[in-house]
Structure 1
Amino acid sequence: MAEQQPSSAAQAPRKLLERLPSISVLGPFVALLLAVIFFSTQSERFLSGQNFSLILQQVLVVGVLAIGQTLVILTGGIDLSVGFVMALGTMVMSKFAVELGLPPLLAILCGIAVTTAFGLLNGLLITRIRLPPFIVTLGTMNIAFALTQIYSKAQTVTGLPEALLFWGNTFRLGETVITYGVVLMIALYLLMWFLLSETAPGRHLYAVGNNPEAARLMGIPTQRVLLLTYTVAGFFYGIAGWLLVSRTSVGDPNAGQTENLETITAVVLGGTSLFGGRGMILGTLLGAIIVGVFRNGLTLTGVSSVYQVLITGILVILAVTADQLSKRRS
């Protein structure tokens, strides 16, 4: 007797479920929407254009740092040196411009070159000596922190030239004041989204993160991909350093103390898998904004900063749990 095939009516719900976005993709949108709805009922100021502009300014530096962190995590690695490498870059560009009297653009390029060199160093240690990314970046994190303190003598640099502060300048969009730094952040995310989704190097990066051995057998130069990934990540840390200087108007040797964990939080909340190979760069931007929305909303409602950290930690655990469940299901 022939086995009965499921009816088309019975298959329809299954096909609909298959077409729905995965939890890792849909989750950040749902979390952001729910947060916006909740806080809009708690504070009249929350839904104002100026408040949203403030949120974007607050997540600006972490958002750009998280681009580099996303690239690294997509390969199955992790970078703990993010914040301290950025801080070293800010001190180089600030002191070169103020104390050495270099042209501002050259000083900025020197700072970005230093952060890019640290990314290259991370990549070389991981690909050539085959050290674990966690250990390598833990070591370079401490090296960058020590060099920052030694070079700066723990002194803040002030009186920066106008070119270093460019991204802190503003323009009006209707009644809302927006900084040029926010525009740069969004442009960088759109650029990286295109490169990751529409170019061969982007597809190679996903392949290496998903299965390095299979990628190697397919002819993808896995070691070169990893080396380039960490180097490009270092470049973004330098850009983030420039944005930080523009926003604060000083070179601060104590910057970057919390950015290491904050970038990982943004990446995880954005739906990128810590196991590598799965995730969207635009999701990281959503993840950074989710953290910004929660902190801003809780501040407007008078909640202590301790509870802000508590809620952020809960969100991270929920996001990683969803990622793990999604991985098991697939």
Structure 2
Amino acid sequence: MTSSIKMAPPAPPPPMAARTIWRRALSVSTIGPLAALVLACVYFSLQTDRFLTGPNFSLILQQVMVVGTLAVGQTLVILTAGIDLSNGAIMAFGSIVMTRFAVDGGVHPLLAIAAGIAVCGLFGAANGLLVTRVKLPPFIVTLGMLNIAYALTHVYSDEKTVSKLPPMLTALGRTFDLGGTRVTYGTVVALVLFGVFAFVLGQTAWGRRVYATGNNPEATRLTGVPTRRVLLAVYTVAGLVYGVAALLLVARTGVGDPKAGQTENLESITAVVLGGTSLFGGRGAVLGTLVGALIVGVFRNGLQLTGVAPIYQILITGVLVILAVAVDRISRGRNR
């Protein structure tokens, strides 16, 4: 007699796209920051009852959405072993272009928004051309572009804050109810942007080329990948992302402020580093950058709620950045 026992069919594996994205999201470089974020949340929830509430978490997301969006573009650049010191100044110039076009120029708000994002994209493309064609170091290029964008912002704005904006420019600053908590539309846009770039980097040929270029540009070039085009695209796309950050900034503040963006470049680098992306290129994940941005937001919010002076918030953030880079350096040494 033959056995008639039927084996249950194995469960279908998850889609390849989902598996790849989650594998990158839960990589070794991301698990550490995620654990730090969870521990920080547990600690502050034990210190104050005001921390673990829906409105407070909504506030944290609102506070990090602009820097987090800047950090998306910064992640792309750092993955190629570069760095962008100009992103905060580019964002500020983009916000002034949007607001002045709409208020002083009488341009339709949608066209003003498109102009601001396009200008930021042009700044990014200029960075990319100087890095790829002139072959200048990214640090020097973006440091110079920081000063150019900063000066143009103050010249074009005439040192004046642009107010009385059309509702369309501040629409992303409005809120909707989610389980009894008010959440801004800008927060949703920022989170969607993280999801889009997590997919692009994890599932597209372009994303694989970005990682390969950052890991070993010469070897990648010898395999036939146009690394200069990849770098130019990275800086251009990053500039466009800075334009989106400019729109979120305007929506959150309700004005075009020429003094904005003066420290956001360093804060975006902090978010990327704390999220586990290597400053040496080729390793990291954009979802890790989201975790890094949330770590900064949670620490600042929690320390503020517990009555710690702001100067110590900066001190702790600096210590975390040094620790994150040290861990990355040690892990790279062990992998050799």
TM-score tier (shorter):
over 0.9
Q: Are 2:150 and 1:145 aligned? A: yes
Describe the SS at the equivalent of 1:178. strand
- Distance, in Å, in 2 between the alignment partners of 1:278 and 1:43 is 36
The residue aligned with 1:285 is 290
**Partner residue in 1 for 2:213:** 208
5 Å-filtered alignment, 1:264-303, equals 264-303=269-308
Whether the 8 Å CA contact 1:24–1:322 is kept in 2: the answer is: no
- Output the amino acid matched with 1:237: Y
User: Which stretches of structure 1, 4 residues or longer, exceed 4 Å deviation after superposition?
Assistant: none
Q: Secondary structure at the match of 1:59?
A: helix
Is the Cα contact below 8 Å between 1:40 and 1:47 reproduced in 2?
yes
Q: Of the candidates 192, 198, 211, which is equivalent to residue 203 of structure 2?
A: 198
**1:25 to partner: Cα distance:** 2.1
Q: Distance in 2 between matches of 1:40 and 1:284?
A: 23
- Equivalent residue number for residue 11 of structure 2: none
1:29 is matched with which residue: 34, 41, 47? 34
1:64 aligns with 2:69: yes
Distance, in Å, in 1 between the alignment partners of 2:334 and 2:56 is: 39
2: CA distance, partners of 1:232 / 1:214:
24
Q: Which residue of 2 aligns with 1:155?
A: 160
Q: Kindly provide the CA deviation profile for residues 238-274 of structure 1, in whole angstroms up to 9, marking residues without a partner as x.
A: 0000000000000000000110100000000000000
2: CA distance, partners of 1:242 / 1:229: 20
1:44 aligns with 2:49: yes
Aligned to 1:320: 325
Aligned to 2:116: 111
3-state DSSP of counterpart to 1:69: helix
Unaligned runs of 5+ in 1: 1-20
> How far apart, in 2, do the equivalents of 1:183 and 1:263 lie?
19
- Normalised by the size of structure 2, how large is the TM-score? 0.91
Which residue matches 2:250?
245
In the TM superposition, what are the counterparts of 1:122-133 in structure 2 within 5 Å? 122-133=127-138
Counterparts of 1:52 and 1:206 in 2: how far apart (Å)? 32
- The counterpart of 2:192, out of the listed 182, 187, 190, is 187
Secondary structure, in 3 states, of the residue corresponding to 2:277? Answer: coil
Structure-2 separation of matches of 1:289 and 1:45: 17
Distance 1:22 1:98 in 2: 46
Distance (Å, rounded) in 1 between the aligned partners of 2:163 and 2:128: 33
Q: What letter matches 1:266 in structure 2? A: A
Other structure's SS at 1:302 match: coil
TM-score, structure 1 as length reference: 0.93
1:274-319 CA-to-partner distances (Å, cap 9, x unmatched) read 0000001100000000000000000000110000000000000110
Residue 284 of structure 2 aligns with an amino acid whose one-letter code is G
| Aligned positions of 1:252-267 closer than 5 A | 252-267=257-272
Question: Quick one: distance in 2 between partners of 1:178 and 1:116?
Answer: 28
Distance 2:116 2:100 in 1: 10
Q: 1:223 aligns with which of 228, 233, 238?
A: 228
Q: Does 1:310 align with 2:311?
A: no
State the secondary structure of the residue aligned to 1:160.
Answer: coil
SS at match of 1:45: coil
Residues 54-111 of structure 1, C-alpha deviations (whole Å, 9 max, x = no match): 0000001000000000000000000000100000000000000000100000001111
Contact 1:24–1:326 (8 Å) recurs in 2: no
The share of aligned pairs that are identical, in percent, is 65
Question: 2:15 maps to which residue?
Answer: none
- In the alignment, the residues of structure 2 paired with residue 30 and residue 249 of structure 1 have an alpha-carbon distance, to the nearest angstrom, of 35
Partner SS for 1:172: strand
Q: Note the C-alpha offset of 1:23.
A: 4.4
